[in-house]
Amino acid sequence: MSKKQIILNAFNMNCVGHINHGLWTHPRDRSTDYRKLSYWTDLAKLLERGLFDGLFIADIVGVYDIYRQSADVTLKESVQLPVNDPMMLVSAMAAATQHLGFGITVNLTYEAPYLLARRFSTLDHLTDGRIGWNIVTGYLDSAARAMGRTEMIAHDERYDRADEYLDVLYKLWEGSWRDDAVLRDREKRVFADPAKVRKVQHHGRYYDVEGYHLSEPSPQRTPVLFQAGSSGRGQAFAVRHAECVFVSSQSKAGTRKLVDALRAQAAEAGRDPRDLKIIMGITVVVGRTQKEAEEKFAEYARYASPEAGLAHFSAGSGIDYSTYAPDDELAPPGGHKGRGIESSVQRVTDGRRGVTVRHLLEQMQLGGRYTTIVGDPVQVADALQAWVDEADIDGFNLTRTVTPESYEDFIDLVIPELQSRGLYKTAYAEGTLRDKLFGNGARLGPQHTGASFRDLPDVKADSTASQPA
């Protein structure tokens, strides 16, 4: 059995209903307090007590309006609506912690790369290098319409644009300022050496950027890069850019097939396959005994909303499953004019025929479709270890059920069991988030494509910049 130390992130969102829907109605759930800063700082301190590697914060632009061709269920059950900006949470949580990392989802389709580069550099400074970016390109037509488009950009073109977008960011983060550009020399009145700050000039198919990066070099420069694409084009993007890949599957065999494909492609691209950390989404309900865990699961299920989960799934697949009978087979993506997530049905079925809407609703007893583990601490640890060993993943994004109770239970009951097996750290390592995850320093490794953007052609800054006005 593997003794690889498990990476663990809390999976959350700046909203009421995230993955497991309907549980906001549980009397002990605090998710409706998401608008309060104390909700997030308390959560950050709790996760740091549990030695979590990070808080992974999802986000969505647009609303889920495919199911029943309306947003009614989305609004009634708060299916990721309302949803607030995730980036604004980080500074306060970073001030309340010393080690916890933060993986923030930002949709690049609707963000100017020049300004996003500064926002991430700012957070990298303020967190002492504990920031990561979950790169998404979006998939909702409702978002496209809200942003002035008639429909979402086609799937593969979204990734083509994203490839170029990342090239622009690497030029800004890695190439605009040399490591020794900032002098802070009070005596000579030179804060930064103009000869060591370079203007980025990018004129591509999708983006035209000319200018100096607005931020001085931050601890990591480039944030730790997360990505969740499972389609063929998504995998190609992940292999080029991602350091951590987020996957979701119902079977170990299906997950192993995806993991093997990602690692093989990474090797072909000249990267160390182990430079890809594969993180799987999972739900855990744990009790001190198996009976207690099963009773807790049944209690939670009474408050959960499988229909809200189906509304969420409909948006992801682009198919209105309200028009299906319970025993109708899940249709492949493309049944709705929306672009959807190409791999959404594949994730649930793992390629099997005969998976019906009824099967899907049975999976959604807690309102979500992620693999769910229910048991005592030993049983949960056994299951997690089996996923790591058999699927060759590196860790988990742990969803919330009743919050913060579900995280407290995991920390108090499961973490000690994992530690006793040598599968989980007993103290944080020092350094940035990238240091903690990979142990090879704060910067992108030399095999990563971003490292190739460090040696931009010199374009000297205005020579009068260092002269007093």
Helix (H) or strand (E) holding 10: strand 7-13
Q: What is the DSSP string of 303-363?
A: H--HHHHHHHHHHHHT--GGGS-TTSBPPPTTSSSS---TTHHHHHHTT-S--BHHHHHHH
Mean per-residue pLDDT for 232-239? 92
Please name the residues in contact with 412: beta carbons below 8 A apart, sequence gap of 6 or more: none
C-alpha dist (Å) from residue 162 to 8, 135, 138, 166, 364 = 27, 9, 11, 6, 32
Residue 459 has pLDDT above 70, yes or no: no
Residues 6+ apart with CB under 8 A from 157: none
Mean pLDDT score, 309-320: 91
Q: Is residue 114 part of a domain?
A: yes
With beta carbons less than 8 A apart as the criterion, state whether 271 and 265 touch.
Answer: no
**DSSP letter, residue 177:** B
Phi then psi dihedrals of residue 28, to 5 deg: -100, 0
Report the percent of the chain where pLDDT is more than 90.
81
Supply the range of the domain harboring residue 258.
7-286+371-453
Residue 38 pLDDT > 90 = yes
- Element containing residue 372 per DSSP (H, E): strand 372-375
Residue 185 has phi, psi (to 5 degrees) of -90, 100
Residue 210 three-state SS = strand
| Cβ atoms 178, 458 nearer than 8 A | no
Whether the per-residue pLDDT at 463 is higher than 80: the answer is no
Distances (CA, A) of 5 to 277, 348, 394, 419, 421: 12, 27, 8, 9, 10
The reply to whether 230 sits in an annotated binding site is yes
Which helix H or strand E contains 384, and what residues bound it? helix 377-391
Domain-embedded: residue 360: no
* Residue 295 token pair: 């009773």
Q: Is residue 13 one of the residues assigned to a domain?
A: yes
53-62, 111-120, 364-373, range with the lowest pLDDT: 364-373
The verdict on whether residue 359 carries a ligand-binding annotation is no
How high is the pLDDT of residue 335? 43
Q: What is the pLDDT of residues 173-206, one digit of tens each?
A: 999 999 999 999 999 999 999 999 999 999 999 9
Instruction: Return the structure tokens found at 24.
Output: 């906001």
Q: Tell whether 463 is covered by a domain.
A: no
Question: Is residue 432 marked as binding?
Answer: no
Please determine, for residue 339, whether its predicted confidence score (pLDDT) is greater than 80.
no
Domain assignment of residue 2, yes or no: no
Percent of the chain exceeding pLDDT 70 equals 92
User: At residue 200, what are phi and psi to the nearest 5 degrees?
Assistant: -80, 130
Two tokens at 90?
């980080």
In a domain, 324, yes or no: no
Residues 6+ away with beta carbon under 8 Å from 178: 196, 197, 198
Task: State the CATH number of the domain containing residue 161.
Answer: 3.20.20.30
Residue 416 in this model has a pLDDT that exceeds 90: yes
Residue 341 has pLDDT above 80, yes or no: no
**79-104 burial: b if 16+ Cβ within 10 Å, else e:** bbbebeebbebbeebbebbebbbbbb
Provide the number of structural domains found in the chain: 1
| Three-state secondary structure call for residue 133 | strand
Q: What share of the chain is helix, strand, coil (3-state, %, to 5)?
A: 40, 15, 40
Q: What is the rounded average pLDDT of the residues 19-47?
A: 98
Query: What is the chain's mean pLDDT, rounded?
Result: 92
Phi and psi, residue 228, nearest 5°? -125, 15
Q: Is 318 left (phi over 0), alpha (psi -120 to 50) or beta?
A: left
Q: What's the pLDDT band for 269 if we cut at 50, 70, 90? A: very high
Residue 389 labeled ligand binder: no
pLDDT per residue over 55-107, tens digit each?
Answer: 999 999 999 999 999 999 999 999 999 999 999 999 999 999 999 999 999 99
User: Is 465 within a domain?
Assistant: no
pLDDT of residue 337: 42
What does the pLDDT average to over 423-433?
Answer: 98
Angle at 305 between CA 251 and CA 254, to 5 degrees: 10
Q: Residue 466 has what pLDDT?
A: 35
- Name all contacts of 268-271 with Cβ < 8 Å and 24+ positions apart: 269/239, 269/240, 270/447, 271/239, 271/447, 271/448
Closest CA to 398 of 291, 248, 296, 298: 248
105 in a labelled binding site: yes
Q: Of 17-31, 307-321, 341-355, 441-455, which range is least confident?
A: 341-355
Answer yes or no: is pLDDT of 409 > 70: yes
324 in a known ligand binding site: no
Instruction: Please report whether residue 182 resides in a domain.
Output: yes
pLDDT of residue 344: 63
Q: Which residues contact 62 (CB under 8 A, 6 or more apart)?
A: 138, 140, 141, 142, 143, 144, 146
Task: Mention every residue, 6+ apart, whose C-beta is less than 8 A from residue 439.
Answer: 429
